[in-house]
Structure formats: C-alpha cells, structure tokens
Amino acid sequence: MPLYEHVFLARQDVSTQAVDTLIEQFKGLIESKGGKIAKIENWGLKPLAYRVKKNRKAHYALLNIDAPAPAIAELERQEGINEDVLRFLTIKVDELEEGPSAMLQKRDRDERRDDRGDRGDRGPRDRGDRGDRGPRRDRGPRRDDFAPAFAAAVEEEND
C-alpha cells in the first residue's frame, strides 16, 4: 500500500481533547478502509503565518499513514466537511520517517534551552564579538550649526 504523511490544522478555539478526538475519528476512518496509522504526533497550538478563516493560531497534527488511495480520498472528504479543520495536506512518500519529526525535535530542543535559561552565546543587549563602535564620525554640518548664523541674519534684516 502507498505511504502518506498527512498534516491537518484545527481551529484555535478547539480544546486539545477535541483535537485528540478528531485524531481518533480520522484514525478509525483509515482503519475501517483497510489502512493503518504508523505514527501520530500532536504538535500543539502554533501561530499561523497568516490568518486562515479568521484564525491566527491552529492546532497541528501529523499522521503517518499506510493506506489505499480511496481511504485517503475519504479522509480528505471528511476533513473538508468538518468545521473544526482549517486546512490539511497529504503527501505521498517513499518511506515513513522513523522517530520524532523535525517539529517535535525542534520543540524538544527549545524546551531544553528554556529549562537551562540559556539565551545562546549572548544576552539581550550584548554585541558579541563586534566590539564597541568607537567615536562618532563627523557627518558634516548639521542644522543646529546654522542656527546662530540664521538668528543673526534674521536679526540683521529686522534692524
């Protein structure tokens, strides 16, 4: 059977339990059509790059699927009908990825960094190895430089 990676986005105002229910519903659908789910990952609530149906965030979920094409067609049809699903994408792959996906690896790495309180090499205002800028260079005459001369010229005209 063909292998697929399937990601869907659920509305931001849906609870995490409701997203888990959606995942189980879609899993049951695939299994009833003769397929199987190799891996399920719930990536959680993440910001969207742009607003989708008035939502700025969405719950992301990944399903690695081993199923016939009609099962995937039915899955996509059901997701298109479901009001809680904003978007979905199914990609046919040669082999399914083992272990955690890149999104979960990134989240784990970010959580470890937050636990340590590590901000990288530099603090919020540290300039790193660039050093100090040194004295300002002269940029030529400024408006303030002409103020005394202008005031004298105006006074001379009024006399």
Q: Three-state SS for 35?
A: coil
Q: Which positions ≥6 away from 106 have C-beta within 8 Å?
A: none
Which CATH fold would you assign to the domain 3-98?
A: Alpha-Beta Plaits (3.30.70)
Residue-wise pLDDT for 73-123, tens only, equals: 999 999 999 999 999 999 999 998 888 888 877 777 777 777 766 555 555
Mark 20-57 as b/e (b = at least 16 C-beta within 10 Å). Answer: eebbeebbebbeebebebbeebebeeeeeeeeeeeeeb
pLDDT tens digit string along 9-64?
999 999 999 999 999 999 999 999 999 999 999 999 999 999 999 999 999 999 99
pLDDT, position 144 = 63
pLDDT tens across 111-140, in order? 777 776 655 555 555 556 666 667 767 666
